[in-house]
A and B are shown apart, each in its own frame.
Chain A
Amino acid sequence: MNIRNNIVLRQKLAAEYVLGTLKGGARRRFEGWLHQDADLRNITAGWQQRLAPMAEFAGEVVPPKSVWAGIERRLDLKKKPARWQFWLNENLAFWRSLGMVSTALAAMLVVIVMQRPPADAPSIAYVATLSDDKAQAAMLLTADSKHRALDVRVITSAQVAADKSLQLWAVPKSGNPRSLGVLVGNRGSFTLADSAVSGDVAVLAVTLEPKGGSPDPKGPTGPILYKGHWIRL
């Protein structure tokens, strides 16, 4: 059937399609025409616009709160920016103010490190001091690129609970934090991965995790305790 030139029929079919009385084969045929006939789509949209407001004749009923909660859950709308991203943004100002202090401190520590006997002299390429939220230096990191070794020491007297571990992370500018290792007690000796010192690392962070490290492969689960930056030597 050619309905292209039958203006009256086009209107009638579109109207009954929208109303719902066009059923079965006739409905499927009409939907087939809709695909290839922009004018018919416009006519149909016109009928939607005319008849759909009948929905409002039903009157308003406020839905229970559980409906929105369900929508939020299904669409995962509550998803907040990942916590480490939050640290990054939140702490930008903090880091700017701290930069000078920790650079000076790290330089001093380097001097100490370098005064070790030269026999198995490590080739220290990077150092970092991580500070707590009061800007107190709490941890010293040294990266030996020759031996691919990362040495971590807690330099405060703070104790970690028996069922917790400290975990060290390199937080890149984008993407998930990379675990550099889980400390045992107040020390850690890890293999130095290239990704630990690569240029995209924005912050080094230590978090308090369940014993043995974060259960989440994507990143930390616990609060951040210490933060700092690499200084290249």
Chain B
Amino acid sequence: MNSPDPQQLKTWLLASGKRDAAAFRFLYDASSAKLFGFALRILHKRELAEEVLQESFVAIWNNAANYQGHLAAPMTWMATIVRNKAFDHLRRSDAAVEIDAEQFDREVMNALMDPQATPIEALQMSGDAKALAWCMSALEGMQRQVVALAFYHDLSHSEVAAHMKLPVGTVKTWIRRSLEKLRTCLAKREQA
């Protein structure tokens, strides 16, 4: 599936805010595979991921009228909803979070580790995601993993530290520096 044009997604999202069920269907068709992949990677259980995706799209429909295009791209806005719903589910179920070594899609992992061998440009993702991938590939491997762990599993500094068998202070420093590097790198790419 090709990455949908953000402008097109925005049009559908705004129309969904005006109760246009047909536009909402288009929005779902264009974004659900990405969002389901995301939910699945957080939750691991298919049934749970399906439930979260369903709840998320109900929330997207119900809140679409409040979507502010100047603050967030449509995928950003929707992914944030999915992420919050997924974490809510995990907190409620109180189940131990399953964290596997494979953070990301294998091809994306390869591209992050060695963009020469697996070009980021060839990945099936939005321009925003490619820019982030490019900047994350410039981070040192462990630091990238620390950021990804926190983002995908809602972990605290000490939980990340425990999982990575690192001192908490190290994790805190790495996260702070990594985020700072990402900001600088993304700003540079934007200007370029």
Contact for B175 among A16, A57, A62, A64, CB less than 8 A = A16
Contact of B53 among A51, A56, A63 (CB under 8 A): A63
Known: A50-B186, A56-B129. A70 touches B75 (CB 8 A): no
Looking across the interface, which residue of chain B has its beta carbon closest to that of A11? B183
Q: How far is the CA of A62 from the CA of B71 in the complex (A)?
A: 28
Inter-subunit contact A75/B129 (CB<8 Å): no
- A49 within 8 Å of B by Cβ? yes
Interface residues of A in 24-69 (CB under 8 A from B): 42, 45, 48-64, 66-68
Is B138 an interface residue, CB under 8 A from the partner? no
**Residue B21 lies at the interface, judged by CB distance under 8 Å to chain A:** yes
How would residues 88 to 113 of chain B score, 1 for a CB under 8 Å from any chain A CB and 0 otherwise?
A: 00000000000000011111100010
A205 contacts the other chain (CB 8 A): no
- Rounded to whole Å, the gap between the CB of A61 and the closest CB of chain B is 4
What sequence of 0s and 1s flags, for each residue 1-44 of chain B, a beta carbon within 8 Å of any chain A beta carbon?
A: 10000000000000000000100110010001111111011000
Tell me the dominant secondary structure on chain B's binding face.
helix
User: Which residues of B lie under 8 Å from residue A182 when comparing CB positions?
Assistant: none
| Size band of the interface chain B makes with A | 35 or more
- Interface membership of B114, Cβ < 8 A: no
Chain B residues with CB below 8 A from A70, complex form? 54
Complex-state Cα separation, A60 to B124, whole angstroms:
9
- On whether A45 and B36 interact (CB within 8 A), knowing A16-B179, A20-B151, A70-B54, the answer reads no
A58 to B155, CA, bound (A): 17
Chain A residues positioned under 8 Å from B25 (CB to CB): 68, 77
Contact A58 B179, CB 8 Å, known A66-B50, A75-B58, A77-B21: no
* Whole-angstrom distance between the Cβ of B173 and the nearest chain A Cβ: 12
Chain A: minimal CB distance from B4 (Å): 11
> Cβ of B79 < 8 Å from any Cβ of A?
yes
Bound-state CA distance A55–B107 (Å) is: 14
Scoring A residues 108 to 120 as 1 if CB is less than 8 Å from chain B, else 0, what string do you get? 0000000000000
Residue-wise interface mask of B (128-139) relative to A, using a CB-CB cutoff of 8 A (1 in contact, 0 not): 110111001000
- CB-CB under 8 A from B182, the residues of chain A are 50-51
Q: For the complex, is A71 an interface residue (Cβ under 8 Å from B)?
A: yes
Chain A: interface residue total (CB-CB under 8 A): 35
Question: Once the chains bind, are A59 and B104 in contact (CB under 8 Å)?
Answer: yes
A99 CB to closest chain B CB (Å) equals 35
Whether A62 contacts B38 in the complex (CB less than 8 A), given A45-B72, A51-B151, A53-B126, comes out as no
Nearest CB in chain A to that of B1: its residue:
A60
**CB nearest neighbor in A for B131:** A53
Residue contact B76 to A63, C-beta cutoff 8 Å: no
Q: State the 4 A-B residue pairs at the shortest beta-carbon distance, nearest first.
A: A59-B105, A55-B79, A58-B41, A56-B129
Please report A residues at the B interface, Cβ cutoff 8 Å. Answer: 11-12, 15-16, 19-21, 23, 42, 45, 48-64, 66-68, 70-71, 74-75, 77
| Extra 13 A-B pairs, beta carbons < 8 Å, given A49-B72, A75-B58 | A11-B183, A23-B156, A49-B73, A50-B132, A53-B79, A53-B131, A55-B34, A55-B38, A55-B82, A56-B129, A60-B34, A63-B36, A63-B53
